Amino acid sequence: MSSETVTIPRSSWLLLHAVAVFAFLYLPIAVLILYSFNGEGVGGFPPHHLTLDWYRTLFADGPIWDSVLNSLQVAFAAMVISLAFGVPAALALDRAQFPGKALFRRLVLLPLILPGIITGLSLLMLFNLTGTRLSLLTIMLGHGTALISVATTEVFAGLQKLDRAQEEASLDLGANYWQTFWRITVPNLKLPIVGAALLIFTLSMDEIAVSFFLIGRDNTLPLEIWGRLRRGITPEINAISTVIFIFSLVAIVFWYRLRVRAEGSADVMAELSEPTSP
């Protein structure tokens, strides 16, 4: 029975289907990038007069770069805040036994499924109540709190894979709990922590819902783009989108290489081909 190989008849429909799906996923991105080089604006097919003008306009555009800088600051702060709270929460969930642990776990992970509107609105009401002026700081706090759950889940998953005997070996060899944490636990958690940091950074960079409620006078990049789109679309937007796309690509490649170095390519490939657990 088991030696029998089941052959699925090759169907041209399958190929067609695959092409359609990939086109649906990637064609808009390709078009977006293509039209950032189009001399005649976003309309017209096929594109005419290939030019780098839109990139020149983009690099001379002060407000855009201000918003990029704002977004970077927000993303960095969100990363620090959510890791500072998320890592201890993950450690508590993995190691500590305390009453109400199940409730604690749900409360920590809830923002993961909570719509951004709820998070944004509730924080807005809180800031109103306390009389806090909306600024980049409020967005940082908003992103930071909303993304703690991401840090917790990522690091918790890493802790679950950790070999506890290593920590025991460290204690056995004379390192106290604190030394063991810094010398053994943290180096072994490097990958999940860096992964969480990258994820939080990118999630914060393109976050709109929470930012929308908490925005002060300084725009983040997604909100700046959003604001400009309402005044009409220009290829400059395509140009900034292309830049973002390239940065994301670089980040993904960086992350992949880091994992390959740490775990060996075979493991990474195996994990990438595994269906991700919820």
Nearer to other proteins, 175 or 233 (CB): 175
Q: Is 184 in the site for other proteins (CB under 8 A)?
A: yes
Q: How far is the CB of 166 from other proteins (least distance, A)?
A: 5
Q: How far is the CB of 267 from other proteins (least distance, A)?
A: 11
The interface region with other proteins, picked from 4-12, 14-22, 123-131, 168-176 by CB under 8 A, is 168-176
Report the residue from 175, 208, 209, 251 that binds other proteins according to the rule CB under 8 A: 175
The length of the chain in residues reads: 278
Report the residue from 17, 48, 183, 257 that binds other proteins according to the rule CB under 8 A: 183
* 46 upstream amide cis, omega within 30 of 0: yes
Q: Is 165 in the site for other proteins (CB under 8 A)?
A: yes
Report the residue from 46, 187, 232, 275 that binds other proteins according to the rule CB under 8 A: 187
Q: How far is the CB of 125 from other proteins (least distance, A)?
A: 46
The interface region with other proteins, picked from 20-28, 93-101, 179-187, 200-208 by CB under 8 A, is 179-187
Q: Is 163 in the site for other proteins (CB under 8 A)?
A: yes
Q: Which residues, numbered 188-227, are part of the site for other proteins (CB under 8 A)?
A: 188
Nearer to other proteins, 176 or 276 (CB): 176
Q: Do 143 and 208 meet the contact criterion of CB atoms below 8 Å apart?
A: no
Nearer to other proteins, 113 or 165 (CB): 165
Q: Is 95 in the site for other proteins (CB under 8 A)?
A: no
Q: How far is the CB of 70 from other proteins (least distance, A)?
A: 37
Q: Following CA atoms 129, 75, 145, 84 in sequence, which dihedral angle do they give, to the nearest 10 degrees?
A: -130
Q: How far is the CB of 155 from other proteins (least distance, A)?
A: 17
Residue whose entry in the numeric block shows the structure tokens 């070999």: 163
Q: How far is the CB of 174 from other proteins (least distance, A)?
A: 5
For other proteins, the binding residues (CB under 8 A) are 163, 165-166, 168-177, 179, 183-184, 187-188
